[in-house]
Structure 1
Amino acid sequence: MLDLLETFACPFCHGALTTGADGLRCPACAADYPSAAGYVDFAPAITMKPGLGPFYLQDPLHVTRYERATRDAFLEIMGENWDRDLTPDREDDYLRTALDAADGLVLDLACGSGRWTRTLVEHLGGARVVGLDLSVPMIDLIRASLPDLCVVRGTALRLPFADRSLGAVNCSNALQLLPDPRSVLREAGRCLRPGGLFTAFTFRRADRPAYRYFQSRHERTFNVRAFRTTELVTWLASAGLELVDLRTPAGMLLFTARRTTEPHPD
C-alpha cells in the first residue's frame, strides 16, 4: 500500500494522503479513510444504490454464485447473447489485446469478485493492477482469491486517485449498473494520464421494439441501463477520451478509448 500512496488521493478534494494508525488521512480536508478490515475504505459513508441488481452484488449468499449462474442469464437477456456471440474467452482476448500497450498502473473499476481482475493480473502482473469496488462481500471474495492484490473500497463517482496517475482503467460489465455513468467516465478521464486507456464492456440499447421491451423490463427490475452508442461517444469526448475501438457482438458493446485532452468543464 505504501508504494501506491503517491497514486492515491482524497476522493473529495484530490489532496495528497498520509498514513495513520487506522488507515489514510487527508490533511487538506481532514477526511479519514479506515483500513480496519484489511483494505482502505474510501467510501465509509456510501452505500450501493437500491435495486435487485445491486442487491445481488452485495448479498453474501449470492456473490459466490454470480459468476457461475446469474451472469450468463443476465448476458442472454440484457445483451441478446443467446448464441454465445460473446464468450468469456473472447472477453479476455479483447481485454489483453486492448491493454497490452497500457503504461503504468491499471485500475479494475467495479472489479466485483475479480472475474476480469484475474485476467489483468495474469497478463500484466499483480504489481500493476489495483481493484476497486463498493460491495464489501465482493471485496472479501476477491481478496480471498487474489490475496496479494491491492483492493480498495470506493465509489466510481469519486475515485481515490490523483489526477493523471493511472495508465489504464477497465470497467467490465459494470457501467450499466453505476449511477450517473457520464460522471463515471469523467472521473476515469481525470485519473488517466495522457495516452492512458479506458476499456469497457457494457450493453447496447436494443433496436428492435419487441426486444427493447424485454430489455427495458430487465433494466427496471435490476436497476441497470443499456446505452446508445452515440451517447457513449459524446460522453467519452466530454471526458477527454477518444474512441479508438468498438465491437458490437449481439446486444453488447466492447470499446477502448484513449485520453487525449482534459475533461471538459460542465
Structure 2
Amino acid sequence: MMVTVRIGNIPAVLLIPSQIGINSRRRFFKPLFAPSPPTFERMSAAKVRASSSTAFVETKPDSILDEKVEVSTSKNILACPICYVPLIWNGNPGFSVDSAPQTSFQCSTCKKSYFGNETHLDLTVTSGAKEYGESMPVSTQIFRFSLVSFLYERGWRQSFSVLGGFPGPEKEFELTKNYLKPVLGGNIVDASCGSGLFSRLFAKSGLFSLVIALDYSENMLRQCYEFIKQEESFPKENLILVRADISRLPFASSSVDAVHAGAALHCWPSPSAAVAEISRVLRPGGVFVATTYLLDGPFAALPLLRPLRENIGQISGSHIFLAERELEDLCRACGLVGFTCVRNRRFVMISARKAS
C-alpha cells in the first residue's frame, strides 16, 4: 500500500508491502536453527561476512529489515599444529570428503606445507617427515593396525555393551545430541573417531555445518572412508577426515563449537594434555562430550589400585578412571565448567563447556 508522508516541507510517497502486518516479524525472523536439521543452504539469501573464526549473517528480505546474527564459520578453523596459525589453502577451499584431501596447505608463519592423500588430510606435526620416527604408546599404536581398524565395527565396539554397559551407538548418539543442543548448527570435531562410527552419524543428521572426523590412525581413517563409499547418497559435503594428534590439535584457538570423543578418553596417553587442547580450540560456550568407563565401586577402595593404575598407564599409555569426581576435576583443571555425567554400570558419558 502507499502512504503519503511529509519530510520537512516536502511531500513523499512511502511504499509499504501489503504483507507486513502483525505477524511480519515472525515471517522474517525465522529461528536460524529450526526444529528440522539446520543447514547453511537455508541461508542462501544471506550475505556472510567472514571475520577470523566468526561470521555475521546479514539478512535483508525487503531492504527493510537489517538483522545480524553471530554464528560459527569453518573458514579459518584448520591451523598449523606447530604454530596454531590458520593455514593457507592452496586449491579449492572446500570442505568435502572428496575435495579436501586433494588440497595442500601452508603455514604463513613456519612455512611448513601439509598435504592430503586419497582419504584424509595429514595435519600431524611429523607430516612429511621421511627419516624421523617416533615410538607411540601401546594404546595408540594398536589402533594403527589394519586388522584392528577392520574389526572395530565388526565386533570390537559391540563388546563394550556387554563388558562395560555402553548402551550402543544409537542410544549414545541420542544422549550426545541432548548435550550438544546449545551448539547445533555449528562445527563439530569427532576426536579419536576410529572408523567414523559417530562421525557418519553426525554428518547424516544434518545438525552441523561441518563435521571433522579426526584420528591418529591412518588405517582407521581409511576404514571410515571405505564405509562412506559403501553407503549410497551419503552427504559428503561438509565432512572431512583429518589425521592429527589429540594433544596437538590442528585448529585455531576458539574456533570449534563442539568436540565429541566416544570411548576414547581412557586411550589417550595424557588425558590432561588432550583435554587442555580441547579447551583451547573450543570457542566460549563450546561443548565437550565424551564417553569412557569407570573402575569404581569396591575396586576403587583397594589401597594398591592407584599405584597399579600408574604402572599400567606407564606401560600401555592408557588411563583407568576410578571415579566421576576424577573426571570432573580433570575438566575443571583444563578450564571447562558445567560438568555433568550419566552412568550405566561402568559406562559414563560426561559433558562440560568452555566458559563464556
Normalising by the residue count of structure 1, what TM-score does the alignment of the two structures yield? 0.83
Aligned residues, how many?
251
Residue 350 of structure 2 is aligned with which of 255, 260, 265?
255
CA contact (8 A) 2:119 2:222 kept: no
Distance 2:169 2:324 in 1: 22
CA 48–174 in structure 1, closer or farther in 2 if over 3 Å, else same: farther
Distance 1:150 1:260 in 2: 27
User: Which is further off, 66-75 or 224-233?
Assistant: 66-75
* Unaligned segments of structure 1, at least 5 residues: 262-266
CA 66–209 in structure 1, closer or farther in 2 if over 3 Å, else same: same
Deviations, residues 208-260 of structure 1 (Å, cap 9, x unaligned): 239987x96xx668653221322221221122211342112101210111111
Larger CA Rg, structure 1 vs 2: 2
Residue 319 of structure 2 is aligned with which of 209, 225, 249?
225
Is 1:159 matched up with 2:249? yes
Pairwise mapping of residues 192-211 of structure 1 onto structure 2 (< 5 A)?
192-209=282-299
Deviations, residues 151-199 of structure 1 (Å, cap 9, x unaligned): 1110110111111111100011011111211111111111111111000
Deviations, residues 1-44 of structure 1 (Å, cap 9, x unaligned): xx845111111211121124761111211222121344321112
CA contact (8 A) 1:111 1:132 kept: yes
Is 1:238 matched up with 2:333? yes
Normalising by the residue count of structure 2, what TM-score does the alignment of the two structures yield? 0.63
Residue 36 of structure 1 is aligned with which of 117, 121, 134?
117
Alignment partner, residue 56 of structure 2: none
| 1:11 partner letter | P
User: Which is further off, 237-246 or 111-120?
Assistant: 237-246
Distance 1:258 1:48 in 2: 33
SS at match of 1:64: helix
Distance 1:225 1:72 in 2: 21
Pairwise mapping of residues 84-99 of structure 1 onto structure 2 (< 5 A)?
86-99=167-180
Alignment partner, residue 112 of structure 1: 194
Following superposition, the deviation at residue 126 of structure 1 comes to 6.4
Distance 2:243 2:346 in 1: 30
| 1:100 partner letter | K
CA contact (8 A) 1:59 1:137 kept: yes
CA contact (8 A) 1:121 1:129 kept: yes
Distance 2:189 2:118 in 1: 21
Q: Supply the RMSD in Å over aligned alpha carbons.
A: 2.8
User: Which is further off, 115-124 or 167-176?
Assistant: 115-124
Pairwise mapping of residues 104-143 of structure 1 onto structure 2 (< 5 A)?
104-125=186-207, 127-143=209-225
| 1:49 partner letter | M
Distance 1:126 1:258 in 2: 17
Distance 1:181 1:203 in 2: 14
CA contact (8 A) 2:87 2:106 kept: yes
Distance 1:35 1:114 in 2: 18
* Unaligned segments of structure 2, at least 5 residues: 1-72, 92-102, 230-235
Distance 1:199 1:133 in 2: 16
CA 132–210 in structure 1, closer or farther in 2 if over 3 Å, else same: closer
Distance 2:330 2:180 in 1: 21
Alignment partner, residue 15 of structure 1: 85
Residue 136 of structure 2 is aligned with which of 34, 38, 49?
49
Distance 1:164 1:255 in 2: 21
SS at match of 2:121: coil
CA contact (8 A) 1:96 1:123 kept: no
CA 180–143 in structure 1, closer or farther in 2 if over 3 Å, else same: same
Higher relative contact order (CA 8 A, sep 6+): 1
Distance 2:177 2:201 in 1: 8
SS at match of 2:247: coil
